[in-house]
Structure 1
Amino acid sequence: MLNSSILSVNNLSKTFKSGNKELTVLKDINFSIEKGISCAIVGPSGSGKTTLLGLCAGLDKPTSGDVILNDQKISALKESDLSAIRNEQIGFVFQSFQLIPTLTALENVMVPIELRGVSYREVEKKAIDLLDKVGLRDRVTHYPTQLSGGEQQRVGLARAFIHKPEVLFADEPTGNLDGDTGSQIEDLLFELNKDEGTTLIIVTHDRELASKCNRIIELKSGSIISDTTSPVEQTETIQADLAQ
């Protein structure tokens, strides 16, 4: 595990207006996440998890505070600059898959990088290799409606990794899947996290999934109430110490 931080959140707050009232969803959030680790953000509904994820990914602007990704203060950037960072450095996996229905599995995976000037053949090869890695080599020409929920999420994973993002944000990635299929997707997430060295940040209600991450940040009512090393990380640390 590397020691340098890839994501830092400093005094982050987010307030929404509701009529004449203001609703504070996040208040004075502070943390840093090291490169290459997996981190779960947990908490009850309404605790601010998804809002925090959106701010960290540059999908929304904070009311106050800073989000620093790869030493760049993304909370201060214009949308055009943010779009470039999201396209080059960030990957997303959504609970609802968010595949383009008129494109095949292969075409959906190719979308993030086919406008970069990379040759079609090169992009196609990368996409096929990733689909093969997630077990969908024989589904490349299938459309989303021809795929099961688990298969659609695998396409979403391949698409998220096509440009080798620095950070992968996953919002309830197994929320719409049955237990067995969800477990397969979890295994793929952590496998790709390790193989590609991508920092993995997951928002989840699933405590079992969270326990598989190196670190767990828990929110309640818009504030961090705990920030702990998970049992998995503790075990890996002990094993590393014993090996020395």
Structure 2
Amino acid sequence: MLRVTDLTKTYRSGTGSLTVLDHVTFTIEAGTICAVVGPSGSGKTTLLGLCAGLDKATSGQVHLREHELGRMDEDRLAAIRNQHIGFIFQSFQLIPTLTALENVMVPLELRGDRYEDVAERARRLLGEVGLAGRLHHYPSQLSGGEQQRVGIARAFIHKPDILFADEPTGNLDAETGAQVEEILFELNRKEGTTLVIVTHDSELADKCDRTIRLKGGRIANDSLQTDSIPEQTDLKQGVST
């Protein structure tokens, strides 16, 4: 699903240069749930941005399935993201002037899909994450956990091949974060999406199939988990504010 080869990212300024990623190489098979961990400044978020086609590498290659992202212009990259990639953000990134339903519909509306079909899938996904009664609420009327549930539903609406989650529970308290994790893993199992999670949370990383640990812009460790992901609870359970 994802192949990264000798990926390097260097930022240059008038006083010198800073290498954030240094010849990183790995492959992620389809259907894998992979955590990317490491201390602050280790290159985790930079790696995610390069793998998602949000930034250009200094050198090296990123292949998403048969697509080499580094060879594409911004219009083609935008089309690849809309067709194949989903995102979940730490800060939710909901559009404040749109309702929960409208926020979830955005990726497929940008594609030009039929409105009635998009709305039906958005309602179903919001129901699966326990927000069937909050369809017409705006982000300011939702708790942090509820906003992240909307973000998860939006990430899955266009049935992406791969989903990148950047600290998806970082802005939530421990109890709410645990519930959001359960929703994310359960919905991911149903949809069969490859999932890459950048996280500082070791407990969340332990629930993934594989953990890639970065240090100083290099891969310090790459390990498969021996324990399976535990059974998840009902998606519709309540989330704390």
Same fold per superposition (TM over 0.5): yes
- In the alignment, does 2:35 pair up with 1:11? no
**Residue 242 of structure 1 aligns with which residue?**
none
**Residue 236 of structure 2 aligns with which residue?**
none
Q: Equivalent pairs: percent with the same residue?
A: 64
TM-score of the two chains, using structure 1 as the length reference = 0.92
SS at match of 1:100: coil
- In the alignment, does 2:162 pair up with 1:171? no
Contact 1:215 1:233 in 2 (8 A): no
**Residue 238 of structure 1 aligns with which residue?**
none
Q: Tell me the CA shift for residue 188 of structure 1.
A: 1.0
Match of 2:27 among 29, 32, 35: 32
Match of 2:113 among 107, 110, 118: 118
Contact 2:148 2:180 in 1 (8 A): yes
Q: Which amino acid in 2 is paired with 1:121?
A: E
Which deviations, in whole Å up to 9, do the C-alpha atoms of 1:149-183 show, x marking residues without a partner? 00000000000000000000000000000111101
* Mapping of residues 41-80 of structure 1, within 5 Å: 41-80=36-75
Contact 2:82 2:111 in 1 (8 A): no
How far apart, in 2, do the equivalents of 1:197 and 1:108 lie? 22
How far apart, in 2, do the equivalents of 1:13 and 1:77 lie? 18
Which deviations, in whole Å up to 9, do the C-alpha atoms of 1:87-122 show, x marking residues without a partner? 010000000000000000000000001132322111
Unaligned runs of 5+ in 2: 231-241
Q: Which amino acid in 1 is paired with 2:192?
A: G
* Mapping of residues 1-244 of structure 1, within 5 Å: 6-233=1-228
SS at match of 1:213: coil
Contact 2:209 2:224 in 1 (8 A): yes
Q: Tell me the CA shift for residue 20 of structure 1.
A: 2.3
Calculate the aligned-residue CA RMSD, in Å.
1.2
Q: Which runs of 4+ in 1 moved over 4 A?
A: none
Q: Which amino acid in 2 is paired with 1:147?
A: L
How far apart, in 1, do the equivalents of 2:5 and 2:73 lie? 19
How far apart, in 2, do the equivalents of 1:35 and 1:125 lie? 27
SS at match of 2:170: coil
Unaligned runs of 5+ in 1: 1-5, 236-244
Q: Which amino acid in 2 is paired with 1:184?
A: Q
